[in-house]
Amino acid sequence: MTLAAFLATWAVCLLAAVSPGPAVLMAARVGLAEGFRTGFALAAGIGVGAVAWAAAALFGLSLLFEYAPMLLTALKIGGAAFLIWLAISMWRHADEPIAEPDPTATPRSVWSAFRLGVLTQFANPKPAVFFGAVFVGMVPAETPTWTLAALLFCIFLGETLWNALVARLFALEKTRRFYMTLKHLIDRTFGGLLALLAAKVAAT
C-alpha cells in the first residue's frame, strides 16, 4: 500500500467521521451538558468503536453480513432501539435544571462516558456498512500488518480528535450559558434528532 493510497484511505475515513450522525450528535450534547473532560472520554470511546468496526471489516465483516443478512437486520434493530432509548431519556429529563460545573466532580465518570461512546458507535450500523463496503475495498489484500495497524491508529485518531473538537466547541462557557437558558428546548431537539436517526437506521 503506497503512502498516497494510505492517506487517501484515511481521508475517506475522516470524511465519514465528520458526517452528521449519532456520534457527532452525542459529542455535542455531552460537551454541552457535562463539559470537555467527559466529552473527550466519550470521543475516545467513539474512536475505539470505529477501530472495532474497521478491524471487523478487515476480518470479513461484509462477507458475514452477505451470508447472514439477519445479523445486519438485528444490528439495525438493536442500534435503533438504543438510540430511541437515549432520545427518550433526553426528552424526559429536558426540564430538569443542570448544576453549575463543579471543578471537583464530573456529571458522570470518565469510564461511563467512554463506554457511552463505544455503545453509541456500535448502535449505529453506518460505520459497519462504511467499513465493510467502502473501507475494505480501498485496502489491498497484501497490505502488511504494520500498515493495517497504522491505518487503524489513524482512524482512531481522526474519530477521537474530531468528536473531541465538537465536544470542546459545545463545552465553551458561552455555549454552556446559552444551553442553560434553553436546556428544555435543546435537549428535546437533540432527543428528536436521535429518534429520527434511529428511524433512519432501522429503515435503511
Give me the average pLDDT of each 10-residue run along the chain (204 residues): 80 75 84 87 94 83 62 66 70 62 59 92 76 68 82 92 91 75 73 72 63
CB 49 within 8 A of CB 150: no
DSSP string for residues in 131-188: IIIIIHHHS-TT--HHHHHHHHHHHHHHHHHHHHHHHHHHHSHHHHHHHHHSHHHHHH
In three-state secondary structure terms, 117 is helix
CA distance 99 to 184: 14
CA distance 170 to 183: 13
pLDDT of residue 106: 45
Residue 53: other Cβ atoms inside 10 A: 23
Q: Is 100 left (phi over 0), alpha (psi -120 to 50) or beta?
A: beta
Residues contacting residue 5 through CB under 8 Å, at least 6 positions apart: 138, 140
CA distance 129 to 3: 25
pLDDT of residue 98: 53
pLDDT of residue 118: 93
| Model pTM above 0.75 | no
